[in-house]
Amino acid sequence: MKKLLALLLSLAMALSLAACGGGETAQQEPGGDAAGETYSFSVGTNTAEDSVNHLLAAKFKELIEDRSDGAVTVTLYENGALGGDAELTESCIAGSVDFIVGMTGSLVNYIPEAALFDLPNVFPDLETAREVLDGPILAELQAAYEAGGLKLFGYADSGFRVMTSSKAVRQMSDFSGIKIRTMENPNHIAYWQALGANPTPADFSELYMSLEQGTLDAQENPYDLIVANKLYEPQAYVIETNHLLHTLNMVGSKATYDALPADIQQLVSECAAEAHQYARQMADERIEGQKSTIQDAGLEIITLEPAMIQEMADVSANVYDLVREQIGTDLVDSLLAQVETASVAE
């Protein structure tokens, strides 16, 4: 039913854009003057309204509508109204959805280079991660996204991903056999297999019910999504694995963006960049409250010893080999070098 609704909404948006000029007009060449034209954009997410994903999208809407003096209007579609991650990505590449906000992990099947963010424990802390993601690696990845039909405006995050579970995990052997939900991402699956768990791909929209019914034991997400989607309710523990940065990006349809006049392109890029910075700020401000919400619900938050975190990194080193096979060594080496430089500078 949800997929049918998503298809109907996407078709309606496409017809609306064709009818009311939400992009290039018949009289207007790409890169021309936007004076007098109006533009209507759609932004889709697959997360709840109380999430950093939504806050990023809402900030973009606020900024661009204000600065365009009404020339640009944005309609937000949250909670997977236009489909799951795969449907959103495919619709954005096709141009039936103008922009989407989601995690890089869901892009790997479309933009192979996004697998760079599947490298476990690659960022030692948030400060290093953000410095690197705002640096030269951004331009390298923008070129890769464009080759896949998407326009990348920058990166935000919701902090690091942690594990929730119906079973406690305090030592490596505790991972054995735990049925944990993952995205349809071969690198995520390989990571949890290396730890001894039983990774089970499932759509995010099915996750809460699967945890509640006991068909899954565990899942992994940042605190932001765990609280926004109440994923803690069927669980007993949070294990601070901090294995991956939950990297977010707002991307646009390259076809849509390229058809816009230069001044609207610049406005889109500027507002999107500011919205990413705002999302980082919101993620930082909200995390302690999110932890309190989880603890107040009766869950135990388990902080793993540094030695165990290192052991987890060691046993999952094969994921680095997988990513190198998928995207080559140059991009991986570039990221690792930039992380090293940023870490030394601190």
**Residue 20 pLDDT grade (very low, low, confident, very high; cuts 50, 70, 90):** very low
State pLDDT tens for residues 161-209.
999 999 999 999 999 999 999 998 999 999 999 999 999 999 888 999 9
The CATH number of 2-24+38-157+247-286, from 3.40.190.170, 3.40.630.10, 3.60.120.10, 3.40.920.10, is 3.40.190.170
pLDDT tens, residue by residue, 270-281: 999 999 999 999
3-state secondary structure of 198: strand
CB atoms under 10 Å from CB of 78, counted, come to 20
CA dist 221 and 188 (Å) reads 12
Taking only the tens place, the pLDDT of each residue in 289-310 is 999 999 999 999 999 999 999 9
Which amino acid belongs to residue 120?
Answer: P
For residue 127, the SS3 value is helix
List the one residue out of 116, 148, 149, 340 whose CA is nearest residue 245.
Answer: 116
The pLDDT value recorded for residue 5 is 45
Q: Indicate the fold that domain 160-245+288-345 takes in CATH.
A: D-Maltodextrin-Binding Protein; domain 2 (3.40.190)
Q: If you count them, how many residues does the chain have?
A: 346
Place of tokens 């991986």: 332
CA dist 65 to 95, 155, 258, 277, Å? Answer: 21, 21, 20, 18
Which of 56, 148, 142 minimizes the C-alpha distance to 101?
56
Identical fold for domains 2-24+38-157+247-286 and 160-245+288-345, yes or no, is: yes
Nearest to 42 by CA among 11, 9, 76, 67: 76
Average pLDDT, the chain: 91
Domain range list for the chain: 2-24+38-157+247-286, 160-245+288-345
Of all residues in the chain, the percent with pLDDT exceeding 90 is: 84
The pTM of the full predicted model, rounded to 2 decimals, is: 0.85
Those residues whose C-beta lies under 8 Å from the C-beta of residue 323, and which sit 6 or more positions away, are 115, 116, 118, 119, 187, 332
CA 126, 131, 136, 141 dihedral sign is positive
DSSP state of 108: T
- Tokens at 341, concatenated: 């430089």
